[in-house]
Each structure stands twice: as structure tokens, then as C-alpha cells.
Homo-oligomer: A and B are copies of this chain.
Amino acid sequence: MQQTRQTTIVDIANQLGVSPSTVSRALHDHPSISAKTKRNVVRLAEKYSYQPNLLALSLLNKRSGVIGILVPEITSYFFATVISGVQDMVSSAGYKLLICQSGESFEEEEKLLQDMALSRVDGVLISPTFRTNSFQHFERLKKTGIPLVIFDRDCPGFEADKVLVDSYDGAYQAVEYLIKTGCKRIAHIAGPIAIPTFKQRLDGYLNAHYDNNIPIRSELIVYSNGFSSDDGVEAATQLLDRHEKIDAIFAVNDAVSIGTTHVLRENGYRVPDDISLVGFDDESYAQYYFPSLSTVWQPVYELGMLSAKILLDRFANRGQLQSYRYEVLKPELVIRESSRIIAESTSSYALPNRPGTPLVHQA
């Protein structure tokens, strides 16, 4: 456990009676260093297992080789998978990843972004908290020359590179599917609509009704405070307490969905026989849930990859002014057992196709 100081280029230089610059050049195979000197240097470097000090290099190059990513939380499958995609992309480009979570706290977000700037990260990927509606801290980052990519959660009115998933489209697909399969009274358990993503899902729900000439009933929409399974339980309870006739539920995500099925079951409703249910996210457990969840799959890993790619592109074209990119990825409906085709349904529904995914599981 001896605190043996890391050997530096100077140590090697001294031992060989040459200058540090010679050692540096020798290690980089610079042409103006004799073969003999190179051999000596390399031999010693290996003997002491010399490793260049990246801190010194970063200071010199004004590049830390670190990319920061700030997410609301890392324990959710969604963000963990995004991070995974980002990780794979940036590490192949030789960057390291500094991961932080804001815990949906705006103050934390400000503080952590500040920290990242101090640590001189080369770029930042961020999915803002749902409380974030002022963007000075983003501006500050921009001003210091650190590129910024916003993903998953949009910041309307703030200009930056953005990579989003079309939640509106996913919700529209889901609800239209429910309508086409014969559902007339479709409830929606909405998430906190302060989050643009959740607002979009609500809009998709509404417009799918509108476009199909189904009246929208506000009594079928319940706004949840959060988007965990526990929130799902609460929202579903609230919904049932209204004693409205319901033949389908579109839940804001899978976590809420499973909380919802729990409540439905306890109240004697069968899914999908009495009520069709569609979630959002295609979580890892959705396929093996009982009944397996119909849901909307999102290209989460791809979201991470693309966001990282855009940041790397910024590095490559450093300094060159270029317009911000705005990328929107398409989600896909995955139909499983938690939704059914109602017999008296007249309109036929053309099933979407996603390779590798079982389309219909009828138990």
C-alpha cells in the first residue's frame, strides 16, 4: 500500500540524462529522436509502467475528455438505458462520462451544471427536471463555450441541439388503436403535465379522439402527481371512484399501468376482458407481466446514441457556427395481452409491424 508516486516523464528523463521533452517525443515516436534513445526511453517507461498524467494533459489541451450527463434519476429503466447508449457512443470516441442526477430538483440541476462547468467537461447532455422553466443556467453554460444537448424533455423557447421522442405520436397510435379495436370510453391517466413529454401524451390522447369523432369526456381523464406505480394506484383509485363507465385505459407509462392493473383487479375488473390497458415505455417486465402489457416502445438506447453523436459532431466542428439540430425519434406500438379486440367492433385495425416483437398474444 506504499504511496509510490506515479513515475513521470521527468523521472525517466533524469534517469537517462536527457530532457523531459526528449522523453515525450520518444514516447510519441517523433522522427527527430534517435532509435537508440527511443529504445532506452521505452524500456524504462515499461519498467516503471509509466502512464501519462491526463490531468496535466487536460490542462494543456483545454480538453478534459469528459462529457457530463445530467438526468432526473438514474434508477429508472428509461434513463439508465439512455445512459447506456450514450456511454457506448462516447467511450468509442475516447471520452469518459460524468453522470449526475438532479432528482427533479431545479436547484440541484443548477448546482450540478455549475460543477460540471468547473470541472471543465467538454460537453453536456441534459434531460431537465420538470420544474425547469428558466434557462439562465443553460445560457451560462453556453457562454463558457460548453456545447449542450437536450434530450427527452424539451425546453420550449430555449435554443439548443435537441433529441426527443415523439410522445404525441406514440400516444396517438395507442389511443387510435384502442378506438379501432372498439373501445368507446377510454380513460387516460396522465402524468404531471408540467413535463412536456406527458403533456404530449395527453395531446395525443385528445387528438386521437378528435380525429375519430369520439367525444372527449373530462371525467375520464385523471391527472396524477407523479409517474410511479404508487401514483398509478392512487390515480386509478381516483378514477374508479368516479363510477364512470370505462372500457379502456391509456396510462402515461408502464409503471403507472401496473399500479392500475393492481387496483382494477382488486375491484373485480378483468384486464383485458373488461378493460383494455395500454401503457408506455415497454419496460423490461412489460412482456412478462400478467397480462403482458400492450405498450409503446421507445428507441431509448438510440436516443442516447444519437444525443451523444450530436454532441461529438459539435466537437468535430468546434467553432463553426451551425444551426441547432432538432431530432425526433418515432416510438412504436407493441400489442400484447392487456388489450383486446372488442367483438362488435366493425372497423378493422391494421396492425403496425415491428420486427422481432410478437404482435398479438391472445391467451
Q: Taking beta carbons and an 8 Å cutoff, which residues of A are in contact with B? A: 1-4, 6, 49, 51-56, 58-59, 64-66, 73-77, 80-81, 83-84, 87, 91, 96-101, 115, 117-120, 140, 142-145, 229, 232-233, 255, 258-259, 261-262, 265, 283-285, 287-290, 292, 318-319, 321
Q: What is the CA–CA distance of A204 and B20 in the complex, to the nearest angstrom?
A: 59
New contact pairs (4) apart from A53-B59, A96-B100, CB-CB < 8 Å: A51-B117, A66-B98, A87-B101, A265-B290
Chain B residues whose CB sits within 8 angstroms of the CB of A75 once the complex forms: 77, 80-81, 84
CB contacts (< 8 Å) of A80 on chain B: these are: 74-76, 80
- Residues on B with C-beta less than 8 A from A83 are 74, 99
Q: Are B99 and A97 in contact (CB under 8 A)?
A: yes
Contact B120 A319 (CB under 8 A): no
Residue of B nearest to A265 (CB): B290
Say yes or no: B49 contacts A140, CB within 8 Å.
Answer: yes
Partner of A96, one of B98, B101, B144: B98
The 9 closest A-B pairs by CB, nearest first: A258-B288, A75-B80, A99-B99, A55-B59, A290-B290, A285-B285, A3-B145, A262-B288, A55-B58
Chain B residue numbers with a CB within 8 Å of A64 are: 55
Cα distance, A112 to B271, chains bound together (Å): 47
Contact between A319 and B3 (Cβ–Cβ < 8 Å)?
yes
For A287, what are the chain B residues with a Cβ–Cβ distance below 8 Å?
A: 229
Between-chain CB contacts (< 8 Å), 30 pairs: A1-B321, A3-B145, A3-B319, A4-B144, A4-B145, A51-B118, A55-B58, A55-B64, A55-B120, A59-B59, A74-B74, A75-B80, A76-B80, A80-B80, A87-B101, A96-B100, A96-B119, A97-B98, A97-B100, A99-B99, A229-B285, A229-B287, A229-B288, A232-B288, A233-B288, A261-B288, A262-B288, A262-B292, A283-B285, A290-B290
Structural contact, A142 and B84, CB atoms closer than 8 A: no
Task: Please measure, in the bound complex, the distance between the C-alpha atom of A265 and the C-alpha atom of B337, giving whole angstroms.
Answer: 14
Cα–Cα distance between A284 and B285 once the two chains are bound (Å): 10
Chain B: CB-nearest residue to A319:
B3
Contacts of A118 in B (CB 8 A): 51-52, 54
Q: Which residue of B lies closest to A117 (CB)?
A: B51
**How far apart are the CA atoms of A87 and B232 in the complex, in Å?**
28
Q: Which residue of B lies closest to A314 (CB)?
A: B1
